[in-house]
């Protein structure tokens, strides 16, 4: 028998749409398990099943392996790629790995980079600047943030305000400056930077650092880029990082500070993926230790999340324009602050792409009740 020209690949995430799109670009048939099974994901997937869980509580551990086995069916997926939803519970990765070949970081690697005290210790040993952390309430809370260990998306980040950190939470010293995210491919020995992006927040009343969007930078200081790659290679050798990952930094008067490592393909996959050099193909090559190819980019691409400001009892039917994805389906009940869709824009420069995508979000907001442009 000749090999399948379009082999199946399993995808598990809170939202699997961007990974499914990346799998299609790389020539795979995506089998997607996520919390939403939205229209875009269903259109991209060869098959899809909903995972049990919610945005608030995360993916339910008990049923995930059974759901994935049902999804795989008679196919023999080449691997399973996971997205967001597993950093807080790496034991789920261990359970999945007993049934499927995982193309990504091991549970042990996730624990090494997502444990706040462990990452702080590694950064100290490797001379990588990293904000102070603590688990007891700071004397001057105005200089600190509180975060959820393994949290993602920015909604868990809040000013300390004297609050106790509580179970699974910790304090991190606030570092003023501009945020910077590095997408990189790792092969357990070396890290190779794919590109840099800047992210912004879409604050709400209770989530001042909620993720708003990101823009791919056309250029970044070469000396700083080389330093970051050295740091990420040192971390890769110590932790065994593999495949696509991202690292978040603050670039300020005090220099660069590593804030956290995201040990999986993340929110910027859409703005970095390429038809010419599909990143999921390079992700698999990096995991296997094979030679990789880094994409070349022209211009800039930005993506942003549009949220509803107020509760909507039945989401209206919308004729969605091009360069949008992750659409809420008509008739859906939404709470205030729920995501409505993802919006994209391209432009010759990062600044122009960022302006364009923010403008498109405002224009689209007139389509759902209770929001203003």
pLDDT at residue 1 in the model: 35
- DSSP output for 221-257: -HHHHHHHHHHHHHHHHHH--EEEEEEEEEEETTEEE
Within a domain: 38: yes
Asked if pLDDT for residue 324 goes beyond 70, the answer is yes
Report the CATH number that the domain containing residue 39 is assigned in CATH: 3.40.50.20
Say yes or no: 50 and 22 in one domain: yes
- Please indicate, yes or no, whether residues 38 and 59 belong to a single structural domain of this protein: yes
Is position 371 within any domain? no
- For residue 114, what are its two tokens? 């997502």
Same domain, 180 and 327: no
Determine contact, residues 326/15, Cβ cutoff 8 Å: yes
Q: For residue 142, is it within any domain?
A: yes
99 with 117, same domain?
no
Instruction: Give the other-Cβ count within 10 Å of 166's Cβ.
Output: 10
Closest CA to 242 of 182, 181, 185: 185
| Residues 146, 20 within the same domain | no
Least confident residue range of 50-54, 290-294, 334-338, 365-369 = 365-369
Among 103, 118, 151, the domain-final residue is: 103
Determine the pLDDT at residue 371: 42
Same domain membership, residue 258 and residue 150:
yes
Helices marked H in the chain: 17-25, 39-44, 64-72, 90-97, 107-114, 116-125, 222-239, 269-272, 279-288, 350-364
The verdict on 37 and 133 lying in the same domain is no
| In a domain? residue 304 | yes
Is 3 part of a structural domain of the chain?
no
**Rounded percentage of the chain residues whose pLDDT exceeds 70:** 94
Give, in order, the Cα–Cα distances in Å from 242 to each of 30, 186, 233, 263, 280. 21, 5, 11, 8, 13
Asked if pLDDT for residue 369 goes beyond 60, the answer is no
In a domain, 293, yes or no: no
Neighbour-count burial for 74-89, b at 16+ CB within 10 Å, e otherwise: ebebbbbbbbbbbbbb
Residues 153 and 269 in one domain: yes
Q: Binning pLDDT at 50, 70 and 90, where does residue 139 land?
A: confident
Do 59 and 174 reside in the same domain of the chain? Answer: no
Q: What confidence tens digit (pLDDT) does each residue in 172-202 have? A: 999 999 999 999 999 999 999 999 999 999 9
Of 253, 288, 323, the residue that ends a domain is: 288
Residue 46 domain boundaries: 8-103
131 and 249, same domain (yes or no): yes
CA distances from 283 to 26, 79, 366 (A): 10, 12, 39
Q: Is the pLDDT of residue 2 over 60?
A: no
What CATH number should be reported for the domain holding residue 118?
3.30.470.20
Q: Are residues 266 and 133 in the same domain?
A: yes
**Mean pLDDT of the 141-160 span:** 77
Please tell me the predicted confidence (pLDDT) of residue 59: 93
Q: Which of 259, 288, 317 is the last residue of a domain?
A: 288
Please indicate whether residue 166 or residue 358 has the higher confidence score (pLDDT). 358
CA distance 102 to 75: 16
Domains in the chain, number = 3
Give the integer Cα–Cα distance in Å for 20 and 41. 7
Provide the mean pLDDT of the chain: 92
The reported pLDDT for the residue numbered 148 is 77
Arithmetic mean of pLDDT, 6-13? 97
Q: What is the pLDDT of residues 83-110, one digit of tens each?
A: 999 998 999 999 999 999 999 999 999 9
Asked whether the beta carbons of 125 and 155 are under 8 A apart, the reply is no
Which pTM was predicted? Answer: 0.94
């Amino acid at each position: 028998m000749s090999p399948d020209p379009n082999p199946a690949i399993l995808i598990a995430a809170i939202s699997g749409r961007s990974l499914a799109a990346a799998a299609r670009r790389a020539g795979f048939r995506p089998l997607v398990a996520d919390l939403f099974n939205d229209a875009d994901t269903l259109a991209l997937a060869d098959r899809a099943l909903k995972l049990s869980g919610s945005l608030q509580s995360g993916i339910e551990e008990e049923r995930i392996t059974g759901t994935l086995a049902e999804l795989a069916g008679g196919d023999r997926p080449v691997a399973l790629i996971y997205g967001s939803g597993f950093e807080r519970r790496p034991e789920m990765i261990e359970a999945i790995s007993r049934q499927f070949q995982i193309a990504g970081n091991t549970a042990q690697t996730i624990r090494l980079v997502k444990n706040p005290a462990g990452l702080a210790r590694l950064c100290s040993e490797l001379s990588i600047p990293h904000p102070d952390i603590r688990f007891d309430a700071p004397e001057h809370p105005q200089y600190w943030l509180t975060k959820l260990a393994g949290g993602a998306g920015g909604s868990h980040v809040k000013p300390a305000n004297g609050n106790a950190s509580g179970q699974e939470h910790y304090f991190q010293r606030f570092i003023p400056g501009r945020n910077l995210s590095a997408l990189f491919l790792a092969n357990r020995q070396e890290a190779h930077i794919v590109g840099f992006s800047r992210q912004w927040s879409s604050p709400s009343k209770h989530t001042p650092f909620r993720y708003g969007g990101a823009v791919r930078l056309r250029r970044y200081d070469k000396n700083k880029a080389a330093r970051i790659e050295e740091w990420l290679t040192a971390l890769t050798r110590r932790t065994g990082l593999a495949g696509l990952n991202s690292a978040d930094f603050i670039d300020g008067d005090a220099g660069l500070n590593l804030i956290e490592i995201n040990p999986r393909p993340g929110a910027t996959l859409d703005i970095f993926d390429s038809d010419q050099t599909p990143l999921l193909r390079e992700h698999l090559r990096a995991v296997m230790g094979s030679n990789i190819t880094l994409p070349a980019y022209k211009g800039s691409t930005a993506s942003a999340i549009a949220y509803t400001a107020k509760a909507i009892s039945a989401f209206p039917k919308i004729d969605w324009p091009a360069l949008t994805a992750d659409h809420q389906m008509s008739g859906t009940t939404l709470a205030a602050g729920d995501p409505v869709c993802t919006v994209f824009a391209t432009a010759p420069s990062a600044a122009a792409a960022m302006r364009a995508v923010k403008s498109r979000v405002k224009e689209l907001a007139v389509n759902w009740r209770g929001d203003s442009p």
